[in-house]
Structure 1
Amino acid sequence: MKGVAGVLLVMVTLAYVDANHLKGTLEKISRAEEVVEILKDLEGEDRADDDGLAKLADDLEEKEEETLEKMVLEALEEKEEEKLEKMLLEALKEQEDNNDLLQDAITRNNDKPPHIILILADDLGYNDVGYTATGGSAFETKPTFTPNIDDLAADGVKLGKYYVQPQCSPTRSQLLTGRYQIRTGLHHNVIDESRPFCLPLAEVTMADKLREAGYKTHLVGKWHLGFYAPECTPTYRGFDSFLGFYGEAIEYYSHDHTYTYVNDNVNPPVNINITACDFRDGTSVACGANYDGEYKDQYATDIYTKTATDIITSHATDNPNTPMFLFVSMQSPHAPLEVPQRYRKNFKDIITDENMKNRKIVAGMISSLDESVGLIVDSLKDNGLYDNSVIVFSSDNGAPTRYGNNWPLRGGKNSLFEGGIRAVGFVNSPLLPAAVKSTTSNALIHVSDWFPTFVNLAEGNLNGLAGDLDGFDAWNVIENPDFDWNRTEILHNIDPKTLLRGVTTDNSIFDTSIQAAFRKGSWKILTGNPGK
């Protein structure tokens, strides 16, 4: 600020340092009544939180009062009164115009980074929740069994063009690294229990970066990014705590898992089934024949819900000034299909076809999932954390078509058609502008975008990563639909090991027998066998 604007800064500062003395000086100057009124107004303003003005005030207080009076008088005497008044009013107008921006900046500087709550459903179909359901398909009744999810979505920003991967491990790898699965070796399939492989240890995870930014980090539920070595597991990958399972799925009550591997050392090869328990509290086994602890025979979704709400309560008590990252990675409604009768019985009059018995179980599992979401949000509110929280809800892929519902999208889990990769997703947060609440964003958003989005919300940094990010910070476009969004394309996958046999192709540019999918703007190309 120059000229009279500079004098204004002096006067504004004096107005709350020694306002009465300055008014006595200015009253000696003719036609200063308007200035006096302005100073009276400024005197009443609360600037206690403005560190910059407070420092300037302290500096000015140390100067001699006579010097300050002289500065003001000399500046005033150099200008004709009319010109002075005009410039002064212009400076005040400029000050008023910028006041909102100044206050916003001060508020942002004083705000704490938000708590980040990520809830990931497993195998949840696009038509399996109320707010996206359109009816149709094989189901005559529009689902109405997700009131908590629907209410959260209705009060937030629904993601209308939100994409994940068609399988569990690939989606989780891109979520936690912000990098396409072709960069981490996860573009062929999921990580099964017999493979000595995990998310590459060189990869920096979202939890690593959030913990580096001062967050307490917690994972509850499914991991499915490998466990052949301790260094592969969650508490070595950035999470302060973990309770859940390492592999693809577990029985909801016994917490066992049966998997099949092929013994090809004999001729002909034979399939061998192995059953083992897979439930961990940190790195300790919390299941099996010799386990008699608190999780024994408890329904897994109930365990995850109680653990998540306990974490929230403990955090509010023990770490009230520390931000929290809580990743609730649900198994529901992934197989095996198991649910307490109290949820299943709600659909006996809705799903009556005896050939849809599995659908009735899945509906109950989704109802249980919805109840869990509601209890987690209630806990945030009860413990005073909700007002400074960002909640993201997502499915990890589309539903299997044998019992899930992705209508009106084609295909399902394991498919590169829309039913396999276009997911239910929304953001709910009191920090969102009121203008975007209860709206749908049509920005193209991918699961890899959560990595830079969360790290930037946490005021962290993106240094030291294993390679370039494929994700973009989506917060600006979520809170402002007019934002010039950078993402115009998504590489859904390229898998050279999955070929469409018997197809003769021109390989001069790209072998179209390779399974691949790519979206650019409103166009999408699929090659090879995209799945069903």
Structure 2
Amino acid sequence: MSNEHASSLVASTAIAQGAGPAPGRKPNIVFILADNFGWGDFGAYGGQVATPRIDGLATDGMRFTNYSVECQCTPSRSAILSGRYPVRTGNMRVPFPGEGQMGLAPWEYTLPKLLSDAGYATALYGKWHVGNTPGRMPSDQGFDEWWGILNSSDEAAYAESPLFRSLGYPAPHIWEGQRGSASRPVEPFTLELKAHMDERIVGHGTDFIRRQAADGSKPFFLYLGMTLVHPPVTVHPAFLRGSPDRQGIYADCIAEIDFRVGQVLDAIREAGIENDTIVVFSSDNTADAPAGGGGGSNGPWRGNFFTPPFEGSYRTAAMIRWPGSIPRGVVSNEMLTSVDWMPTLAGLAGESGRMPTDRPIDGIDASEFMLGQRPTSGRESLMYFGPDGELMSVKWRNLKAVFRYAEGITRPVVTPYFPILYDLSSDPGEQVNLFETNMGMAWVIAPIEGVVSEYRRSLERYPNIPLGADFEGYQ
């Protein structure tokens, strides 16, 4: 953490101590996961579209500038929910037909399972995308109730295709389910409905907040899988402006997600549970940058959502608020990633002891850092794997070694003869290869090799789960 960040943390800790959660009560947790927004899309990160509610959430808590996800939806979501690299859980990409089942195996111990075992009421509304077969539905993975879509929201456009209709394929649906019973489709998922999808997701979510606050017998975990902005083809009519001084429908989607976040925050405040409720906001992937324009901003970072392992393919916005407990107004460049949420939220809930010990957990518990009790997150390195499950890059502190890279979803993977090394603190665009300009930097291979060696040693006892496998545990 820089001196600026450390000073901000100390000052904000004093402010945070003026209020706090009810004594002896575990915090509620609301996790809002947007879909494919860039690091530079929101006002707090320098975005050009007004996002007062998201900016306010950042100001009232901690905002992270060095937070990374995966470059596809399913890998990111599996990482958040399991605390494990997607390559370990068989979720480095979505399987093609005939390659097995998509999503997390029933054996995985997920964040909602952990919190449910700790006495939480749990609910998911919105996008799931980590399993669409029995045993892998949200209600099989720790959620008491759920409503939403099993896969990606681009399925809403399927029924628009005359060929799709002529072949008699079943239309994509919205589903719902409850723990202990089979999930079921409840209505077709169309482009017309997609324009109202996030309104309905938040409607379900705020109803859940009010119900749980009125009941008061349990803390709750609410996971909102928003569909905005993937893909940016529809938006609620109330936000469809399209004036030349805006950035088209993408900017309208930004305006809507900001409004939806505000609705959730208002529901928490009106229920009188602000000090008892942790709110996390982030995105599952970074922004696309289509050739015709109209896409999002990944800030100064090179690439877009499918140019691994460049930062623009992984680094996105993230923030957390817990009034009276997490210092407010902190902007941190400490390294964090999606696998860190499960152990960190377990730590904030006082349930670290429930983290599984029979498998590798790649996430680190950053709860003490977020509470202002230590100056660093505890994460010093991060590995990036490709959709093929092979290592692409290792980030160690501000340095990043690239072993393979791709310039786009339809472009080939390039394996340079010698790794490329970038200093992200001075070269966010990843343009200057330090191994070409300063061979005195070759010593960096040693700590990076240490990170890779530790991972490889873990595979001897815990081999990675194959893509699509119906895994039942290690022997």
**TM-score under structure 1 normalisation?**
0.65
Q: Which residue of 1 aligns with 2:455?
A: none
CA distance 1:465–1:483, shift in 2 (3 Å): same
Q: Summarize deviations over 1:320-355 as a string: whole Å, max 9, x none.
A: 13100000111100015101332121x51413xxxx
Determine helix, strand or coil for the equivalent of 2:250: helix
| Counterparts of 1:417 and 1:128, CA distance in 2 | 18
| Counterparts of 2:355 and 2:299, CA distance in 1 | 41
| Counterparts of 2:314 and 2:162, CA distance in 1 | 25
CA distance 1:109–1:527, shift in 2 (3 Å): same
Superposed displacement of residue 529, structure 1: 2.6
Superposed displacement of residue 518, structure 1: 1.1
Determine helix, strand or coil for the equivalent of 2:203: helix
Q: Any residues of structure 2 matched to 1:406-445 within 5 Å, and which?
A: 406-415=298-307, 416-433=309-326, 436-445=327-336
Contact kept in structure 2, 1:191 and 1:225, CA below 8 Å: no
2:153 aligned to 249, 252, 266, which one? Answer: 249
Determine helix, strand or coil for the equivalent of 1:443: coil
Determine helix, strand or coil for the equivalent of 2:125: strand
| Counterparts of 1:487 and 1:155, CA distance in 2 | 24
Q: Which residue of 2 aligns with 1:87?
A: none
| Counterparts of 2:168 and 2:377, CA distance in 1 | 49
CA distance 1:438–1:251, shift in 2 (3 Å): same
Q: Summarize deviations over 1:234-287 as a string: whole Å, max 9, x none.
A: 0000000111000122466x89698999xxxxxxxxxx9956222112112121
CA distance 1:242–1:108, shift in 2 (3 Å): closer
CA distance 1:348–1:193, shift in 2 (3 Å): farther
Q: Which residue of 2 aligns with 1:452?
A: 343
Matched AA of 2:172: C
CA distance 1:256–1:322, shift in 2 (3 Å): farther
Superposed displacement of residue 389, structure 1: 0.7
Q: Which residue of 2 aligns with 1:183?
A: 88
Superposed displacement of residue 363, structure 1: 1.2
**Unaligned 5+ residue runs, structure 2?**
1-16, 178-182, 409-475
Matching of residue 116 in structure 1 with residue 47 in structure 2: no
Q: Summarize deviations over 1:400-437 as a string: whole Å, max 9, x none.
A: 1112221211111122211110010011121335xx31
| Counterparts of 1:516 and 1:485, CA distance in 2 | 24
Matched AA of 1:517: S
Contact kept in structure 2, 1:302 and 1:372, CA below 8 Å: yes
Superposed displacement of residue 528, structure 1: 2.1
Q: Which residue of 2 aligns with 1:326?
A: 222
Give the fraction of aligned pairs with identical amino acids, expressed as a percent. Answer: 28
1:235 aligned to 119, 122, 139, which one? Answer: 139
1:143 aligned to 49, 62, 86, which one? Answer: 49
Contact kept in structure 2, 1:477 and 1:484, CA below 8 Å: yes
Q: Which residue of 1 aligns with 2:60?
A: 155
Larger Rg computed on CA atoms: 1
| Counterparts of 1:257 and 1:201, CA distance in 2 | 34
Contact kept in structure 2, 1:441 and 1:478, CA below 8 Å: no
Q: Which has the higher contact order (CA 8 A, sep 6+)?
A: 2
Superposed displacement of residue 386, structure 1: 1.4
Q: Which residue of 2 aligns with 1:133?
A: 46
**TM-score under structure 2 normalisation?**
0.73
Q: Any residues of structure 2 matched to 1:174-213 within 5 Å, and which?
A: 174-187=79-92, 189-191=93-95, 196-197=100-101, 198-213=103-118
Q: Any residues of structure 2 matched to 1:44-443 within 5 Å, and which?
A: 110-133=23-46, 142-144=48-50, 146-187=51-92, 189-191=93-95, 196-197=100-101, 198-227=103-132, 229-250=133-154, 274=169, 276-282=171-177, 283-288=183-188, 299-318=196-215, 320-335=216-231, 337-345=233-241, 347-351=242-246, 359-402=247-290, 403-415=295-307, 416-433=309-326, 436-443=327-334
CA distance 1:192–1:366, shift in 2 (3 Å): farther
Runs (4+) off by over 6 Å: 257-261, 295-298
Superposed displacement of residue 492, structure 1: 1.8
Q: Summarize deviations over 1:461-496 as a string: whole Å, max 9, x none.
A: 33545512111111111232743542100112155x
Contact kept in structure 1, 2:382 and 2:394, CA below 8 Å: yes
Q: Which residue of 2 aligns with 1:528?
A: 404
**How many residues matched?**
375
Matched AA of 2:49: P
| Counterparts of 1:407 and 1:169, CA distance in 2 | 24
Determine helix, strand or coil for the equivalent of 1:486: coil
Q: Which residue of 1 aligns with 2:434?
A: none
Q: Which residue of 2 aligns with 1:479?
A: 371
**Unaligned 5+ residue runs, structure 1?**
1-103, 135-141, 262-271, 352-358, 499-513
| Counterparts of 2:360 and 2:76, CA distance in 1 | 18
Superposed displacement of residue 195, structure 1: 5.5
Q: Larger % of helix: which?
A: 1
CA distance 1:312–1:404, shift in 2 (3 Å): same
| Counterparts of 2:72 and 2:263, CA distance in 1 | 27
Contact kept in structure 1, 2:384 and 2:391, CA below 8 Å: no
Matching of residue 517 in structure 1 with residue 393 in structure 2: yes
Determine helix, strand or coil for the equivalent of 1:287: strand
Q: Summarize deviations over 1:178-217 as a string: whole Å, max 9, x none.
A: 0111111122x23568764131222110000000000001
| Counterparts of 2:393 and 2:38, CA distance in 1 | 20
| Counterparts of 1:273 and 1:159, CA distance in 2 | 47
